[in-house]
Homo-oligomer: A and B are copies of this chain.
Amino acid sequence: MTHPSAGSPHAFRVQIYYEDTDHSGLVYHANYLKYFERAREHLLGVSELVRLLNDDGIGFVVYKCELTFREGAVFGDSLEIRTTPRRESEFRLVFNQDVYRGDKLLVQGLVQMVCIDRDKKLVRVPESVLARL
């Protein structure tokens, strides 16, 4: 995986296995939300996310998401998730997340995230996370 710089999106690879597909022969639509989550975690930094959760009790939750499916992926595909994060407010991050197979755009996503504490109360996005964007 590579890190965004000078406006280029963060790129993350996803390999498509049996588990990802359904009997239509295509990737099951809900699974793209999983790939988006994996990509966001690498972008934000897995070890920092673990530390925030264990030490500070702060976790990320999806508030809104939108997906548009243009073409299906199949078993054996190697997809690239291209993620462009944006600080929407003190409380909200927005991620444009698109799925490519080679040059071809398969799925377009938009995911809004917020942070909650141990009591499930909304809290500000931590500075340590903002610094990664």
A contacts, CB < 8 Å to B: 15, 17-19, 21-26, 28-31, 33-34, 37-38, 41, 46-47, 49-50, 53, 59, 61-69, 72, 74-76, 120
Contacts and interface: CB of A to CB of B under 8 A. Distances in A.
Nearest to A23: B21
B34 A17 contact: yes
For the complex, would chain A's binding face be called helix, strand, loop or mixed by DSSP majority? Answer: mixed
Contacts of A21: 22-23
Contact of A22 (B23, B49, B76, B120): B23
Given A18-B22, A33-B33, A34-B17, A69 B75 contact: no
A31 B22 CA distance: 12
A63 B24 CA distance: 15
A81 to B, nearest CB: 13
A19 B19 contact: no
Contacts of A34: 17, 19, 30
